[in-house]
Amino acid sequence: MVWLLVLGLFDFAEAGASAGTEPNQPRAEENYLDMSIEELMDVSLDTVQGASKYAQKLRSAPASVTIVTGDEIRQYGYRTLAEVLRSVPGFYLNYDRNYHYLGTRGFRRPGDYDSRILLLVDGHRVNENIGGGLPSGTHFPLDVDLIEKVEVIRGPGSALYGSNALLAVINVVTKQGRSLDGVELSGSVGNLDTCRGRVTYGEQLREDVDVLLSGTAYKSGGRALYFREFDAPETNHGWVDNDDDQFQDVAARVSWGDFSFLLARSDREKGIPTAPWGVLFGDPRTRTWDTTTLVGLTYDRALSETWAIKGRVSYGHYDYDGAYAYDYAEEGEDPRVVLFQDEWRGRWWEGELQLVGRPLERHTLSAGTEVAYHARQDQRAWDEVVWLDDARNSQNWGVYVQDEYRPWKNLALVGGVRHDNYDSFGGTTNPRLGLIYDPFEQTTLKLLYGTAFRAPTAYELYYESSTEKASLDMEPETITTYEAVVEQQFTRVFRGTVSGFSYAMENLIDHFLDPADGLLVFRNLDEVQARGVELAVDARWETGWQSRLSYTYVHAADEATGQALVDSPKHLAKLHILAPLVRQRLFAGLEILYDSEAKTLGGRETEEFVLTNLTLTYVSPARHLEVFASVYNLGDTHYAYPGFGEHVQDTIAQDGRAYRVGLTYRF
């Protein structure tokens, strides 16, 4: 399979090269040590902000970084942030027909809410404060059409960001109003009674004022699904149709001088067709509601040519409500259906103050402090009786410092450390070290080391029910990562990256059945070892052709047993091609994704699969009209992801072929 993708890449390479003229010259390397702070704050899309909390060139970042641009999101037809991240080397998905979940570099814990990956929007933390969850599917609080770029920073990030940044940091950068300069209307329809509409206004009102306002509505009737585990007359022979999904998003981004304001909010409702936790199969009242709100204010100012200050404050709001239909009738009695109700109420404030500067020649220093107050971390669960009514608040703080020292132009030494303190367990300190060396003009070598942690969540510490008890006392999870990266510009067209990595995770938090009382409880139990390699080749031609091929191999295993982890495919391969069929008018975006087998909780394996997605985009000569058509799972591949502990199903079937057509008009 991998060799077929390689051959495909070079077939398209020959086609692209023969169709055009002389390819682009590579951009001249900019010397960021000689740039002023003002210039440093306004560099282009080939830079990353999230790797060091200030803008730097990709090859200078102390991490393995991938950037997905807004143009790529549009031309590949991505509908959610989850689909964007699935395209990135080393990332893969799981979808339990309610929420999307992310795996990376062989690690995805069944039942985890993606709390080991940190998600930021314009630098503001999005992970909610009860389960640590990361919204990447249809409950992500921002329309993907409003994304300027997505920065994916692999590896441990706690030396700058604190908790949740074990495996990766994802920073979503939003568009500014001046990129629209008017009103934009967009709508699409698809199979399964799916429709989506968006209206956006964006404009630069004057030199220092920029405004973007947007609203999106989405609705899908969902797919009729068959689960053989429920194939019986009393359960409709395994067929169910409560897979519906709907949401409404609003967003605002306003910049005024040194200040920028962000609002992102999503209200989402989803039916659950899989009958988890033993609920009644096919009952449409079993569903979840999620409301996510992020409000952020940032102050970013250059104090001089060598120093800048950044202040950030944000408010987060997360409501989860779940309704689960059970039949509480005794055997032989008439049905007695009762709704089990589950709710979370999270409210939190965060603030950060950061100073970036050059105190000495060849040094770039970043230092800051961050505080968080969790005003509400409330959990309730009830049916005919109240099982849980827990209301809490907590706080944590952290201080960090990082120094980049360049003894020579082609060598950078990066060292950083952060100390965090939590009400629940006390303090933890996490360092990072990096050596970045350019032995040749077009070659970069990175040697990276870092540790990270994840604080136990309020859900893991305090949740209890008739079958589960509160833990109350746990240590944070930790990870130690070593990585070597080689980046090479082979020709004017081709650029390649090879990354070898190894990580060890300790004190992993997992469910444990206490033999003393027969109740489930969260405990620090497991340790994981993983080693792997990632390969990627990117190609860009002056004619507009673009291509990216990547392959990831990883072996992740439980250290005690040596057994491979559940939901951990060893092989991932991805091929992406953007082809201008008619120059500047008609584009084709082709995506081919390969996942190898993955172990299930039942000890079996899912089947390997290949997904092919194709999007055609037409842009009018005046660029006011854009028409797009997408086919997802073009080959109608039958595939499934591993189920979780709450499912009867060992695997969860995924969607077959789907389509979407729509248009966007700007005026």
Q: Inform me whether the pLDDT recorded for 583 exceeds 90.
A: no
Is the pLDDT at 28 greater than 50, yes or no?
no
Q: How far apart are CA 627 and CA 633, in angstroms?
A: 20
Q: Which CATH number covers residue 377?
A: 2.40.170.20
Strands 91-95 vs 411-422: parallel, antiparallel or unpaired: unpaired
Answer for the pair 405, 147: CB distance below 8 angstroms, yes or no: no
**Residue pair 201/176 in contact by the 8 Å Cβ criterion:** no
Q: What is the mean pLDDT of residues 426-453?
A: 97
Residue 3 parent element (H or E): helix 2-19
Alpha-carbon dihedral sign for residues 564, 470, 426, 101: positive
CB-CB neighbours of 595 under 10 Å? 23
From residue 66, alpha-carbon distances to 18, 45, 80, 88, 207 in Å are 28, 11, 18, 7, 32
Are β-strands 100-104 and 182-190 bridged in parallel, bridged antiparallel, or unpaired? unpaired
The 10s digit of each residue's pLDDT in 494-521 is: 999 999 999 999 999 988 788 888 888 8
d(CA 433, CA 154): 14
Q: Which of 210, 242, 251, 145 is nearest to 628 (CA)?
A: 145
503 by Cβ neighbours in 10 Å (0-12 / 13-18 / 19+) ranks as buried
- pLDDT at 35 exceeding the cut of 50: no
Backbone angles phi, psi at 59, to 5 degrees: -70, -15
Q: List, for residues 314-361, the tens digit of each pLDDT value.
A: 999 999 999 999 999 988 888 999 999 999 999 999 999 999 999 999
72-117 pLDDT, tens digit per residue, is: 999 999 999 999 999 999 999 999 999 999 999 999 988 889 999 9
Question: Which three-class secondary structure state does DSSP give residue 9?
Answer: helix
- Domain span at 299: 2-666
> What total of structural domains would you count in the chain?
1
Side chain identity, residue 181: D
pLDDT of residue 29: 34
Q: Is 517 exposed, middle or buried (0-12, 13-18, 19+ CB in 10 A)?
A: exposed
> Is residue 483 predicted with pLDDT exceeding 70?
yes
Q: Which of 116, 92, 89 is nearest to 102 (CA)?
A: 92
Residue 139 has pLDDT above 90, yes or no: yes
Please give the angle made by the CA atoms of 250, 251 and 257, to the nearest 5 degrees: 155
pTM of the model: 0.92
**Residue 539 has what pLDDT?**
94
SS3 content of the chain, % helix, strand, coil (to 5): 10, 55, 35
Nearest to 414 by CA among 402, 424, 426, 397: 402
Q: How far apart are CA 92 and CA 532, in angstroms?
A: 15
Show the 3-state SS of 99-152: CEEEEECCECCCCCCCCCEEEEECCEECCCCCCCCCCCCCCCCCCHHHEEEEEE
Could you say which DSSP state residue 173 is in? Answer: E
pLDDT score for 110? 86
- What pLDDT was estimated at residue 20? 36
- Whether 392 contacts 462, CB under 8 Å: yes
Token output for 617: 């985009």
H or E element in which residue 16 lies: helix 2-19
For residue 665, what is the DSSP state? Answer: E
